[in-house]
Amino acid sequence: MADLTAWAARSRSLGDPQAMKIVVTDLLANREPLDWRESAAYASRAEKALPLIESVLAHDPEQARALCEHALHRIYLVCDEADDSDGEISEVMDQLMELLLRCLRAAPPAANWLDDWFNLMQADPWGLWNEPAVLAAAGGAVQQAYQSKAAEDWQDWVARHPPAVTTTADGGKGRRGASQRQSAVSAVAGQGGRFDYQRERLRRRYLDVLESQGDKQAVIDLMRSSLTDAAEHSELVAYYESLGKKDEALAQARAATRLYPNDWRCEQDLLRCCERDGWHEEALVIRRRQVEHMPDVEHFQAALLAAGKAGRDLAIYRDELFTWAADREIAPPFGGRSMASPATAQGRHVDTRVSWLLAEAKLDDALALVQPPHVCRPALLRTIAKALPPSRHAQAVPLLQRVFAAWMTHASTPYMEVLEIVRETLERLPAPERDQWLMLLRAQYKAKRNFIKGLDALPRRG
């Protein structure tokens, strides 16, 4: 029926806009919510409208544009209650939007078309519009109207929301200028710290307009005077950097860190500025805080690098970090599931120091540290064992057996990981000890039949 309807429409006079609109309406009509299967069928029917509008575009771009707008409004009504998991309806919407751009390029509309476009964006339940692309296609009249509306909408939002006091990079209050634009940038968003989508959209739209006009100071004024959260402080730092204003970026990053001391974006902004501008002691403080918050290898190595730039004795500073890591091992940071054995009064969870030693290629130091009663993550024990050469099988085997004991506690069929550990262990055992260990495993885990089958299937070494 959709094919017949489209064929009939093409057979009619293309100069009858009302008849074409009725056909497009019929193709895009739907009264019930759609599940994902029905959405595919609907999309297949809806895309029949595309060649119809294409045929109109060739001789009447304005009529084609009106048909595109009508088609989008109709499809919005449907997709608001459709399961488009496979994206087939949204693909038709994308094609309609692209066709609309072609119509705009062929016949740029008057400034008042902006209202029609904003109504379309308001009706779009999925927010798929690319505003810069539409503006580029719509021409100068619409662009001028858009710029005016962006300013007016922001000013209207400001008027409806009382400004609050905000701290800027220089420690003062957000200042007001004399012009209408500067009065608009004095607003501070945020009602109770909640994200305001409308404010964000209006603010971003106005910022883009100011940027397109090349008014960088106006962009800065708006950003400074409307700061509400860590993300917007970080955005301002990045903008200062894009303009080469390094001092302003550093000052803003410091102010943001004072306001949001636990925000990772502000911390990274300040760290980047300090390391770039040679504030190495300040950067080292941040790096040390990061390694104490997350003592992985990356943060450990970064802290050492920062210490070197700050002129510290690297050997002494490294010892400080290892001492700190050793002190925190008294209170084990991990749960029992990842441990080879429970913590004891004498044993420590030495994961942090072991990972650092392995990163420094200090294999023997790591091996000495993981000896009982100390405990360590099985993965690290395995890493040490695999790094030991064949001449040191006797040291590797106990490590692998500890890994097996830890993983077997929570293993389930098909036992692939633990069987791989068994295989690695058997390859390092001499024949008598290998047979003895296999016999012990069969006796201890005889109730785990799939594990025993896996043992029997392991390749035998001659």
> DSSP string covering 218-273, please?
HHHHHHHHT--SHHHHHHHHHHHHHTT-HHHHHHHHHHHHHH-TT-HHHHHHHHHH
- pLDDT of 448 reads 93
**Dihedral, CA of residue 387, residue 391, residue 394 and residue 399, to nearest 10:** 0
Mean of pLDDT values over 14-41: 86
User: Where do the H-state alpha helices sit in 34-184?
Assistant: 36-46, 49-57, 61-79, 88-106, 113-123, 131-138, 140-160, 180-184
pLDDT reading at 452 higher than 50: yes
Average pLDDT, the chain: 88
pLDDT reading at 181 higher than 80: no
Q: Which is higher by pLDDT, 358 or 341?
A: 358
C-alpha span between 231 and 142 (Å, rounded)? 31
Query: Scanning the structure block, which residue is given the tokens 């001492």?
Result: 323
Please write the tens of the pLDDT for every residue from 63-77. 999 999 999 999 999
Please write the tens of the pLDDT for every residue from 327-337. 998 754 444 44
- pLDDT of 347 reads 78
Q: Tell me which fold the domain 1-130 belongs to.
A: 1.25.40
pLDDT tier for residue 17 given thresholds of 50, 70 and 90: confident
- pLDDT of 36 reads 86
Please write the tens of the pLDDT for every residue from 390-401. 999 999 999 999
169, exposed or middle or buried, with CB in 10 Å at 0-12, 13-18, 19+? Answer: buried
pLDDT reading at 9 higher than 60: no
Please write the tens of the pLDDT for every residue from 98-126. 999 999 999 999 999 999 999 999 999 98
- pLDDT of 163 reads 63
Contact 199, 189 (CB under 8 A): yes
Mean of pLDDT values over 275-295: 97
Closest among 408, 401, 347 to 376, alpha carbons compared? 347
- pLDDT of 187 reads 42
Q: Where in the chain are the domains?
A: 1-130, 336-457
167, exposed or middle or buried, with CB in 10 Å at 0-12, 13-18, 19+? Answer: middle
- pLDDT of 20 reads 86
Please write the tens of the pLDDT for every residue from 218-246. 999 999 999 999 999 999 999 999 999 99
